[in-house]
């Protein structure tokens, strides 16, 4: 018998994206165009699980013919991830998808699977340090297949008001789709306000939830010098007044939290959980940042150094991918402004890398690169050329100018010009690639010169762009 020993929720972290449309976003991949390798990635529709809104069953998994990010009426389709339950079984001690058959082999039914989703939005409490400003939602335990709203409650909300943080649904398994899975559908992506004053009208907000007579969020000002504050500050909507950056009292419907699953097998209660979160939609879905969670996980899994198992070809592909993503990032930046160039004679025209460097150090406000070099079109073209040269199989010579993880606070001219340039991490300092990314690029740089591709021209080269 295949006995269930342990449960897992996979993926262990799923990130949804806000959207007000009724229909969730279809699945797709973003792939480089082999005919135009310097162009943005092409979005390719991928098989998508479609859920019947009445029954909660999956009805098909076709790839859509055409991708649409909105519903045609100005509403963004939310990205609603599925979380699957996998089971460790005693026959081979490997993970298998938990299915109706596997449940039955353990004398269980889908209704024996119990779910509970708990999410929170603690942004306000993070600034006011008042527990009454915490917003939390809890579905309680459920085994049915209906939608369970994630309604955020908060002691400082107006009476009867909750913050809609989306909903969770236990997908009803069928013969064709027998897997046990839950779907998290994030909220609409609205902005809510703080009421309590007669005559308030703010066109930015869809509703007032927060009671400004109970809590201090509207009108809140961060205490200067508070070491607990994040750098850069001003991450809430506000107005610049004499007493500081004054909160308008807005709150949004992003959240993150845990999806718990529970199953009792032979009298043993098995538990597992996965993490979910919701953020804004991807407005540049054909672009990938130079450093992503996937890179962090890669480093967590394989360590900060290139391993013996990482071949020169793997390393070269990482180098090319870093370059491609840098190109995609440049496409979305006003590099001249980010650099701190003057704009129509004005200095400090926007929130830039230069301002972040200056904010807490008293450093002179000064452009990072030579002002003549940062025209976006020219920088973009340069990145394209570097990518093109790399595709020849040439060793990545830029390894030496990559910023190391312990150089993010180097505010010297040379330190600030390292790559990736003009981009900051969450702490307001220059961004660095992961140590593993950097080491792989350097590995590629070390090994390429000993390569030989005999008669390369007789057989062309591989499609991946790396050396064959």
Partner 1 sequence: MRSRVHRHMASVLPELFDDEPAAMACLSVAGPLDAEEKEPVLPPEFNWRDYTTMLLHVAAEIEHSLMVQYLFAAYSMGGPQVPEGLRDKVRGWQEVILGIAKEEMGHLVTVQNLLTSLGAPINLDREDYPWGSDFYPFPFTLRRLTRESLAAYVVAESPAKWTDDIAERVKKDAEVAVGQEVNRVGELYGRIDKILSNREHIPDELFHAETLPYQASWDEWGRGYTRGERGQEAGNVPDVKSPELLVFGVFSRDSARKALHEVGEQGEAVDVDEQAETSHFKRFLGIYLELEKLPRAEQDKVSRPIAENPVTAHRLNESVMVQLGAKTVTTSPITDPFTALWGHLFNLRYRMLLTDISHAFRLSGPLDNGGVLTGRGALVHRAFAEMYNLRALAGRLVELPLDKDHPDGPRAGPPFEMPYSLELPDRDHDRWLLQRDLVQASRLLTDQLLETNPDCARDPYVVALRESDRRALEQIEHILSRKGCTG
Q: Please tell me the distance from the alpha carbon of residue 83 to that of residue 15, in angstroms, as a whole number.
A: 10
Residue 415 near residue 431, CB atoms below 8 Å: no
Nearer to partner 1, 154 or 419 (CB): 419
Q: How far is CA 34 from CA 38, 189, 207, 465, in A?
A: 9, 36, 48, 9
Q: Please tell me the distance from the alpha carbon of residue 33 to that of residue 314, in angstroms, as a whole number.
A: 20
What is the three-class DSSP state of 273?
strand
- Cβ-based neighbour number of residue 225 at 10 Å: 6
Contact residues: partner 1, CB under 8 A: 34-39, 336, 339-345, 347, 367, 369-375, 377-379, 381-382, 384-395, 397, 399-401, 404, 414, 417-418, 442, 445-446, 449-465
CA Rg value for the chain: 26
Nearer to partner 1, 101 or 453 (CB): 453
Residue 77 near residue 21, CB atoms below 8 Å: yes
Nearer to partner 1, 287 or 341 (CB): 341
Least spacing, CB of residue 408 vs partner 1, in Å = 14
DSSP assignment string, 170-216: EEBP-SSS-B-EEEEE-----EEEEE-STT---TT-SEEEEETTT-S
Nearer to partner 1, 159 or 452 (CB): 452
Least spacing, CB of residue 324 vs partner 1, in Å = 11
Least spacing, CB of residue 352 vs partner 1, in Å = 12
Q: Please tell me the distance from the alpha carbon of residue 323 to that of residue 50, in angstroms, as a whole number.
A: 36
Q: How far is CA 193 from CA 108, 234, 348, 414, in A?
A: 47, 18, 31, 45
Least spacing, CB of residue 457 vs partner 1, in Å = 5
Nearer to partner 1, 123 or 383 (CB): 383
Least spacing, CB of residue 201 vs partner 1, in Å = 41
Least spacing, CB of residue 221 vs partner 1, in Å = 33
Nearer to partner 1, 234 or 447 (CB): 447
What is the three-class DSSP state of 56?
coil
Nearer to partner 1, 37 or 233 (CB): 37
Least spacing, CB of residue 356 vs partner 1, in Å = 18
Nearer to partner 1, 175 or 452 (CB): 452
Q: How far apart are the first and last CA of the chain?
A: 46
Pairing relationship of beta strands 4-10 and 50-51 according to DSSP bridges? unpaired
Q: Let me know the angle formed at the C-alpha of 289 by 283 and 76, rounded to the nearest 5 degrees.
A: 15
Least spacing, CB of residue 429 vs partner 1, in Å = 18
């Amino acid at each position: 018998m295949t006995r269930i020993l342990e449960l897992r929720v996979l993926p262990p972290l799923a990130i949804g994206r806000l959207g007000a449309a009724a229909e969730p976003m279809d699945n797709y991949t973003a792939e480089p165009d082999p005919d135009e390798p310097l162009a943005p990635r092409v979005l390719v529709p991928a098989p998508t699980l479609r859920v019947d809104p009445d029954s909660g069953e999956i009805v098909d998994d076709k790839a859509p013919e055409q991708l649409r990010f909105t519903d045609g009426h100005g509403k963004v389709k939310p990205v609603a991830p599925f979380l699957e339950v996998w089971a460790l079984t005693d026959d081979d001690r490997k993970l298998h998808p938990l299915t109706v058959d596997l449940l039955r082999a353990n004398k269980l039914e889908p209704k024996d699977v119990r779910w509970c989703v708990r999410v929170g939005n603690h942004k306000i409490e993070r600034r006011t340090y008042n527990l009454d400003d915490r917003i939390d939602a809890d579905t309680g335990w459920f085994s049915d297949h209906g939608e369970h709203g994630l309604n955020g409650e908060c002691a400082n909300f107006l009476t009867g008001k909750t913050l809609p943080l989306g909903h969770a649904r236990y997908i009803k398994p069928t013969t064709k789709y027998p897997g046990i899975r839950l779907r998290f559908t994030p909220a609409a992506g609205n902005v809510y306000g703080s009421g309590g004053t007669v005559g308030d009208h703010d066109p930015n907000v869809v509703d007032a939830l927060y009671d400004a007579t109970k809590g201090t969020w509207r009108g809140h000002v961060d205490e200067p010098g508070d070491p607990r504050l994040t750098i850069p500050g001003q991450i809430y909507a506000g107005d610049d007044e004499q007493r500081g950056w004054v909160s308008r009292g807005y709150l949004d419907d992003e959240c993150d939290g845990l999806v718990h699953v529970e199953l009792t097998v032979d009298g043993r209660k098995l538990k597992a959980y996965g993490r979910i979160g919701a953020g804004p939609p991807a407005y540049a879905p054909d672009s990938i940042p130079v450093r992503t969670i996937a890179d962090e996980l890669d480093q967590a899994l394989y360590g900060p150094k290139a391993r013996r198992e990482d071949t020169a070809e793997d390393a070269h592909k990482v180098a090319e991918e870093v370059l491609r993503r840098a190109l995609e990032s440049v496409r979305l930046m006003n590099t001249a402004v980010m650099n701190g160039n003057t704009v129509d004679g004005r200095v400090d025209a926007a929130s830039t890398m230069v301002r972040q460097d200056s904010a807490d150090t008293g450093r002179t406000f000064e452009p990072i690169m030579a002002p003549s070099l940062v025209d976006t079109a020219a920088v973009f073209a340069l990145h394209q050329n570097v990518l093109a040269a790399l595709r020849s199989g040439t060793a990545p010579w830029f390894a030496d100018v990559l910023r190391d993880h312990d150089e993010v606070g180097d505010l010297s001219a040379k330190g600030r010009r390292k790559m990736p340039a003009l981009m900051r991490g969450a702490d307001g300092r220059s961004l660095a690639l992961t140590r593993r990314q950097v080491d792989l690029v350097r590995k590629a740089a070390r090994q390429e010169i000993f390569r030989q591709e005999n008669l390369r021209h007789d057989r062309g080269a591989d499609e991946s762009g790396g050396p064959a």
